[in-house]
Chains A and B, each alone.
Chain A
């Protein structure tokens, strides 16, 4: 126990020191200035217990703080609200010591009680947030989630600056979970004062605070001068709403906009990529994402593994990547290349139309069959769906396309009798945290194979479930690599044996920023935060 404490403390010191060094690494960084960010859709909410879309994720992240966080642009865990922590040898008890300097923008210090309250709030069904399931390893979470308890027994606060978590089983991803926005500290009195409007008038302890929100028009953030960690560079940022992505880019080129939040629409991409300013304007990076076709394993004839393998072989991934102007790389497996656990040796199914036809023949479906393909209706997904349709037609599968709004597509996928094939584009799985288990549970695990769930292939195999649980129990740091190897094998086996998915490509994220914006690529496409408002700056 003692050695652990010293080691962690030392690590924490090194890391926080490292944090400072990282932040000041680039001399061209200027302190101050405000920037303009644009989005088309209005923010739904800034409540950390509820907000779960890629638009508000970074903003919530900058408004609040959590026990632990990630070093900017990386997936390394570093202290935030907590100065240090210890983990018991059996991996079941985590004890955190809070920083005495952490304060809410309302003035008062962040205490252990705040942390406990905030996490319980996220799990509480009355909050109507999506966060409950993430905290499943804490003792007592299940009782809180179904409403039979009003607190989580596994979270204790022995004193104002100590928080102790007891888990039901060792969980290698627990620190990652505590770094999620859902674990952000919120002040109880502010939440109770605002009630359901807390999402519109958030109060947190993060690097920024919200000054103004004019619905449908703009949000204005300014620097939190009392922030207890390294101060952000920017004095503030203004978010303008209702901007068409195309218009946002045109304005960005003129210098009126600094970050185009919705990215570069396909129509402008080639023009900007080939322009002389390209390297100043575009940040192009891989992310933890895979776009895939889910194959409903419960619908005939998709329940025949040969048919699923044939579908995998019929897709011309290179052509699809060309249709999206090369903004992705063809995918061979479930996990994206950056994710630990990615199997470099596994090449997936090759593009082989003849081989696919042979498999269809073997399955007795030489004449083909009719089926449905669901997709989201925002560009470029309907186009990709049509390309997939063409590819499938070549092996005799006549797919009728149903391009719907996102909520309806999600509902169709989550309905066992509805969607047969679903293209995940626009809803492609992006890791909540950088761990392979996140690519299993909700989308390939039995727990996700429920009405309204995200396991649209309805794949549920007990043997894989067991292997996954065993892997997650390997929570000691020295078991890390071995654990990743186990996960790697699980995913490879799932695809090569059962093929419930046809992975198509790993989309790179492309962000457009104006010439005056500085900071490494990693902070514009942060794997966990999307945009690191705390780390970006205006160049001199």
Chain B
């Protein structure tokens, strides 16, 4: 274990990724103290005389948006939104996925089958379209968006957990326990769950990348977190037609989204190498 960790520490990419995530988390927590301005403030000097957003400069370090609000402050507060949604949505998705996957894998027969058919059904939905419809239906707020993303993402986790559970269930030591009269709860909690933990951790981490991207895409399409509450995706949404006139409004948040998703992907990949070296490169 120690050797594996050392191996990972030697890879510069992963180290950078960890540092970046730490920075994002720090920014999210410390936003009120780090942000030079309020993210909602629309100062009169935030726009040029003709009403155009200002490029990065002395007073507004990363420039201003189309209402004159400071981009840096909005990005810092946006870290909160994107991160909270990413973690919460992913957490819920993993939880639902695990429950469904374990139950389906453990209880063979009608219940197990029905659950997997239901999972197939959910997989047949184009995820983004479903998310758009749900978000439009439920009137997006921070928590609703998180819920929507979770509802759309749990399926992948469920499938994997299901396969693993089925694999475990047929193993000898489980059969042995059963014949000894061990109850379901004992088997589930003491024997199966621990074996699923590595997968949960790996998919939990990789999943954050997906949820961050999905939240950004939903916000970009206008059905995610609604302004004035800032999220990295909705900053781009509000400024998308300005990508020529004010490229900083599109490409700085874009780069941050990319870096965050990338970092989670790298860390998740490293964790997978760590916890289950037989599964390289994603299946």
- A residues bordering B, Cβ < 8 Å? 245-246, 265-268, 270-271, 319, 322-326, 377, 379-380, 382-383, 386-387, 389-390, 401-403, 405
Pairwise interchain contact B139-A322, C-beta atoms closer than 8 A: no
Pairwise interchain contact B228-A401, C-beta atoms closer than 8 A: yes
In the complex, which residue of chain B has the Cβ closest to the Cβ of A250? B244
List 4 extra interface pairs beyond A270-B50, A403-B222, CB under 8 A: A267-B242, A268-B244, A386-B67, A402-B139
Q: Is B167's CB within 8 Å of the partner chain A? A: no
Chain A residues with Cβ below 8 Å from B244 are 246, 267-268
| Complex interface bits, B46-57 against A, C-beta within 8 A gives 1, otherwise 0 | 010011100000
Which residue of the partner chain, among B227, B228, B243, B245, contacts A270 with CB atoms under 8 Å? B245
Q: Is B136's CB within 8 Å of the partner chain A? A: yes
CA distance A246 to B244 in the complex (A): 10
Which residue of the partner chain, among B47, B228, B246, contacts A389 with CB atoms under 8 Å? B228
Pairwise interchain contact A270-B52, C-beta atoms closer than 8 A: yes
Pairwise interchain contact A266-B66, C-beta atoms closer than 8 A: yes
Q: Is B173's CB within 8 Å of the partner chain A? A: no
Pairwise interchain contact A246-B51, C-beta atoms closer than 8 A: no
In the complex, which residue of chain A has the Cβ closest to the Cβ of B228? A386
Which residue of the partner chain, among B50, B139, B226, B241, contacts A325 with CB atoms under 8 Å? B50
CA distance A401 to B40 in the complex (A): 13
Chain A residues with Cβ below 8 Å from B243 are 267
Chain B residues with Cβ below 8 Å from A246 are 241, 244
9 nearest A-B pairs in the assembled complex, by CB-CB distance: A267-B241, A267-B242, A325-B51, A322-B51, A265-B241, A267-B245, A386-B228, A246-B241, A270-B52
Do A387 and B42 form a contact, CB below 8 Å, given A267-B241, A323-B47, A402-B139? yes
Pairwise interchain contact B241-A379, C-beta atoms closer than 8 A: yes
Pairwise interchain contact B52-A382, C-beta atoms closer than 8 A: no
In the complex, which residue of chain B has the Cβ closest to the Cβ of A380? B66
Which residue of the partner chain, among B226, B228, B238, contacts A379 with CB atoms under 8 Å? B238
Listed A/B pairs (22) with beta-carbon separation below 8 Å: A265-B241, A266-B241, A267-B241, A267-B242, A267-B243, A267-B245, A267-B246, A270-B52, A271-B245, A322-B47, A325-B50, A379-B241, A380-B66, A382-B226, A386-B42, A386-B227, A387-B42, A389-B228, A390-B40, A402-B139, A402-B226, A405-B136
CA distance A46 to B47 in the complex (A): 42
Task: Provide the main secondary structure of the chain A interface.
Answer: helix
Q: Is B61's CB within 8 Å of the partner chain A? A: no
CA distance A265 to B246 in the complex (A): 13
Chain B residues with Cβ below 8 Å from A265 are 241
CA distance A265 to B245 in the complex (A): 11
Q: How many positions in chain B have a CB within 8 Å of any CB in the partner chain? A: 22
Q: Give B43-90 interface residues, CB cut-off 8 Å to A.
A: 44, 47, 50-52, 66-67
Chain A residues with Cβ below 8 Å from B238 are 379, 382-383
Q: Give B18-56 interface residues, CB cut-off 8 Å to A.
A: 40, 42, 44, 47, 50-52
Chain B residues with Cβ below 8 Å from A377 are 222
CA distance A352 to B283 in the complex (A): 64
CA distance A380 to B52 in the complex (A): 13
Shortest beta-carbon distance from A271 to chain B in Å:
6
CA distance A325 to B245 in the complex (A): 14
Chain A residues with Cβ below 8 Å from B226 are 382, 401-403
CA distance A382 to B40 in the complex (A): 14
CA distance A9 to B228 in the complex (A): 60
Pairwise interchain contact A326-B228, C-beta atoms closer than 8 A: no
Which residue of the partner chain, among A326, A387, A405, contacts B50 with CB atoms under 8 Å? A326
Pairwise interchain contact B222-A323, C-beta atoms closer than 8 A: no
Chain A residues with Cβ below 8 Å from B246 are 267
Do A245 and B241 form a contact, CB below 8 Å, given A322-B51, A323-B47? yes
Shortest beta-carbon distance from B223 to chain A in Å:
9
CA distance A265 to B243 in the complex (A): 12
Pairwise interchain contact A323-B67, C-beta atoms closer than 8 A: yes
Pairwise interchain contact A387-B67, C-beta atoms closer than 8 A: yes
In the complex, which residue of chain B has the Cβ closest to the Cβ of A378? B222
CA distance A526 to B83 in the complex (A): 50
Chain B residues with Cβ below 8 Å from A382 are 226-227, 238
CA distance A266 to B241 in the complex (A): 8
CA distance A268 to B244 in the complex (A): 8
Shortest beta-carbon distance from A506 to chain B in Å:
17
Chain A residues with Cβ below 8 Å from B50 are 270, 322, 325-326
Chain A residues with Cβ below 8 Å from B242 are 267
